[in-house]
Amino acid sequence: MTHDLVVRGDTWDVAVEDGRIAAVGPGLGPGREEVDARGLLVLPGAVDAHVHLDDPGRADWEGFPTGADALAAGGVTCFADMPLNAIPPTTDVAGFDAKVAAAEGRSRVDFALWGGLVPGNLGDMDGLAERGVVGFKAFMCPSGVDEFPAADPDTLGRGMERAAALGLPVAVHAEDPAVTGRLTAEVLAAGRHDMRAWADARPVEAELSAIGAAIALATETGCALHVVHVSSAEGIDLVATARAAGVDVTCEACPHHLALDDDDAARIGALAKCAPPLRSSAERRALWERLAAGRVDTVGSDHSPGPPELKRGDDMFAVWGGISGAQTALPVLLSEAGAQGLDPARAADLMGGAPARRLRLAAKGRLEPGADADLTLVGTDDPWTVREEDLLYRHPVSAFTGRRLTARVVRTILRGRTVWGEGADPGAPRAGRLVTPVAA
Ligand SMILES: [Zn+2]
């Protein structure tokens, strides 16, 4: 039969009908449209489960149009937007509806939404689950924005209880505010405001303390726990040990912690400020060892841009904490994995199949009949340098500017239609849809 689209790979083809994968195998065809992907990696469309597009309310920081365009250029066909930085935050049904309204017709790729867990919104969790959030995000320390306060231990415990009953995971930003608060006061009292001071105020011990507390609550409540942006090998080991003991806990690593270190941070300045901060080169190598050993469960960009006036200056306690990385996440991951001799398809799964399975986005992250026909074609020996003029962000700056990468996204296909790369129509309507998890 003639398919809508056939993507021809080196050893097998993917056939597409009505936006879904119809068949995977050798010698399929013909297709009304055919894409030659020989010599390229043919991956399930990447899933970035951790972005902040700040829309509505702070769309001048990013917004769905530019943010999702950048994600498409980075090989991502589905992202999960975090509940904070938008105003209103996604902490109740009205906030959820406002965000869906802001995304519809304005996102180039499909999107899912995290709900928020904050003091006082336990009663909103059922409604958010009904709307289709993929889980609940909580901060164990101040989030950086006033309208999304930290979850105290009581809120976190009771929220996990409710999330467990709803069959949804809780994701935590794990840094212990008692540790970071004390050390921040110390470095500021010493008159230090530079990047090294920022890192000294947020050491690995702060992360370990918070991860330990979150795991204890997950153990008590039976809640599925996902620890985002773990920056230390010891943190990953805490998660792995708990999982071996039967706790439903997973962890995420970010490209910036995998690819940049504290010397890079000191050199780059404000654009490399993030929390937890960039670590030593030894810690960075140890993260890769854990990733190679299969202990890192997912990779997400934690794309968290700010307006230019908040991403300039030398006072690291004043500038916005967040790295713009949505467009480069998959290329950075695959380039670094390639340099270390890791199997690229396995590395890519950390930003595709793995987050889709964790968030139960059943149609995403797999090249199998019936799944959405989301494909990312990547050249793995196609060197390029990240340049500001190629970034599609609203504010085209990045901690990765100037970086030489070997993996390049050649084409991104969403439900059978090319949304980025050769064959894409930049004037085509932005047709990204809300994606919700299947029931547990
Ligand atoms: Zn984040």
Q: What is the tens place of the pLDDT at every residue in 34-53?
A: 999 999 999 999 999 999 99
pLDDT digits (tens, 9 = 90+) for 92-119: 999 999 999 999 999 999 999 999 999 9
pTM comes to 0.98
If you measure from the C-alpha of residue 227 to the centroid of ligand 1, how many angstroms do you get, rounded to a whole number?
A: 11
Query: From ligand 1's centre to the CA of 37, what distance in Å?
Result: 34
Distance 422 CA to ligand 1 centre (A): 31
Average pLDDT in the 429-437 region? 97
CA of 158 to the centre of ligand 1 (A): 22
- The model's confidence at residue 1, banded by pLDDT at 50, 70 and 90, is confident
Q: Can you tell me the distance from the alpha carbon of 28 to that of 213, in angstroms, rounded to the nearest whole number?
A: 52
Give the confidence band of 30 by pLDDT, cuts at 50, 70, 90.
very high
Contact 287, 236 (CB under 8 A): yes
CA of 81 to the centre of ligand 1 (A): 9
SS3 4: strand
pLDDT at 172: 98
How remote is the CA of residue 132 from the centroid of ligand 1, in Å? Answer: 20
Does residue 285 surpass a pLDDT of 80? yes
Residue 439 is predicted with a pLDDT of 85
Please state whether 261 falls in left (phi above 0), alpha (psi between -120 and 50) or beta. Answer: beta
Q: At which residue do the structure tokens 């991403």 appear?
A: 311
- What does the pLDDT average to over 208-237? 98
Using the mean position of ligand 1's atoms as its centre, give its distance from the Cα of residue 52 in Å: 6
Separation of 275 CA from ligand 1 center, angstroms?
A: 9
Show Cβ contacts of residue 78 under 8 Å, excluding neighbours closer than 6 positions.
45, 47, 48, 109, 110, 111, 112, 356, 361, 364, 365, 374, 435
Mean pLDDT lowest among 72-76, 254-258, 306-310: 306-310
In this prediction, residue 136 has a pLDDT band, given cuts at 50, 70 and 90, of very high
| pLDDT, position 440 | 74
Q: How far is the CA of 11 from the centre of ligand 1 (A)?
A: 38
Contact 302, 51 (CB under 8 A): yes
CA of 247 to the centre of ligand 1 (A): 23
pLDDT above 70 as % of the chain = 100
pLDDT at 29: 84
pLDDT exceeds cutoff 80 at 16: yes
Centre of ligand 1 from the C-alpha of residue 117, in Å: 14
